[in-house]
Each structure stands twice: as C-alpha cells, then as structure tokens.
Amino acid sequence: MYVYTGGACGYGNLFTNGYNTDTAALSTTLFNDGYACGQCFQIKCVNNAKACYSGFTTITATNICPPNWSKPSNNGGWCNPPRVHFDMSKPAFMRIAQWRAGIVPIMYRSGGLRFSFQGNGYWLLVYVMNVGGGGDISKMWVKGSKTNWISMSHNWGASYQAFSALGGQALSFRITSYTTKQTITLYNVAPSNWQVGKTYKGNANFK
C-alpha cells in the first residue's frame, strides 16, 4: 500500500484535493509516462468467490507503481511490464475484496471527464481527471466564449495551463488522446462565473 499524498502525477495532498482514498498507483504499462494521470477506473473483483465482493469501486490514477525487477512478475513483481496492475489504497481495495486476499483478478473499465480549476483570471491551471477512452492526453486547448481555441501547455502530471484572460467567460475544452490520437471536444464545461478551486464536468463529443 502506497502513500496517499503527493505522487508521480503531481496532485499534491489527495485528501484536500478531493480524491481521499479513492486512488491507485498504476503499473508502468498503464501509467504510460504519466499520460494516464487522472484517468478514472471502475474496478471489480472476479473469479475468486471466497474473496470477491459484488459491484464496482471507482478510483482515480494518481501515482505510479514502479517495477520490482528482483521479483518475477507473477510473484512480487506485480507492476513489472507488461503487466496491467492497480496498486489500490486499502479502503478502495476493501470495497471489492477481502483485505487478506492481497492480489485478486479484476475486471476494469474507464470513463468520464472532470476539470479541476486552479490559477486566476489571467492564468488558468486545469487538472484533468476521469479521462475516458484511451485515458491519456497529448494536447489540450481551451476556448472562452469570447476567444478562439487557445493551446494549453503541459504543466505537471495531468495538469495543463493557459496564460490568457479567461475570467468571466464560459469555457470549452478540446483534448487529443496520446494513444488513440482521437480528439474530444467538450463545449461549455464551465459557466462564465467559474471559480478557482471548483471542479466542472463535461459531456464529450468525439471527432
């Protein structure tokens, strides 16, 4: 079980930033050099009737589970490439299986998009969470109700920034997946009275 604050995605204190313990560190293959930061997964324990509970739990990828090359991938090196592995927090794991089970087989799926705002009216810093589809980001743009599309630069983890006066404008976002190259456009994600410190949801239109 890993530390719930900080982490390779740069989300800082996971409790104060709203993640609490609904988090997991991803194996190297899933983490994809940080492009999977913020992806939301629904996870279900399967094929272990004695340990598994029914239903899914939802977690956000906030860290990397580094490989352990001194161990074989089926006995301790759970995060070694090319394995797909979730190193879940204890509370999250206990929603899908008995804690004593340790490692359990799972089914998982991803989806949804959320944007957590930081910065100010002249500098917008956005944490992208619950990324569906490929679950990763290579490019991101923002559009105010009074502007054209503005390219955002990568700040840290799954955070992107734009140095533009966007206060008082409704905001739309466009994201391109690193893996699939698919572009997602989300219109009017945040209203014109958007505020720093709040999180906004968007409905995706795929192109």
Q: How far is CA 20 from CA 12, 62, 100, 184, 202, in A?
A: 11, 11, 22, 28, 22
The verdict on pTM exceeding 0.75 is no
Of 71, 60, 75, 68, nearest in space to 27 by CA: 68
Helix (H) or strand (E) segment spanning residue 58: strand 57-65
List, as one string, the DSSP characters of 123-174: EEEEEEES--TT---SEEEEEETTS-EEEEEEEETTEEEE-S--TTS-EEEE
Q: Where in the chain is the domain with CATH 2.60.40.760?
A: 114-200
* Whether pLDDT at 133 is above 90: no
Least confidently predicted of 51-55, 83-87, 130-134, 149-153? 130-134
Q: What is the pLDDT of residues 23-75, one digit of tens each?
A: 899 998 888 888 778 777 889 999 998 999 998 888 888 899 999 999 998 88
Question: Which tops the pLDDT comparison, 20 or 30?
Answer: 30
Does 5 score more than 60 pLDDT?
A: no
Q: What is the pLDDT, as a whole number, of residue 11?
A: 76
pLDDT at residue 180 tops 50? yes
Indicate the class that CATH gives domain 114-200.
mainly beta
Q: How confident is the model at residue 4 (pLDDT cuts 50, 70, 90)?
A: very low
pLDDT at 136: 66
Give Cα 92 to chain centroid, integer Å.
15
The position carrying tokens 């313990």 is: 21
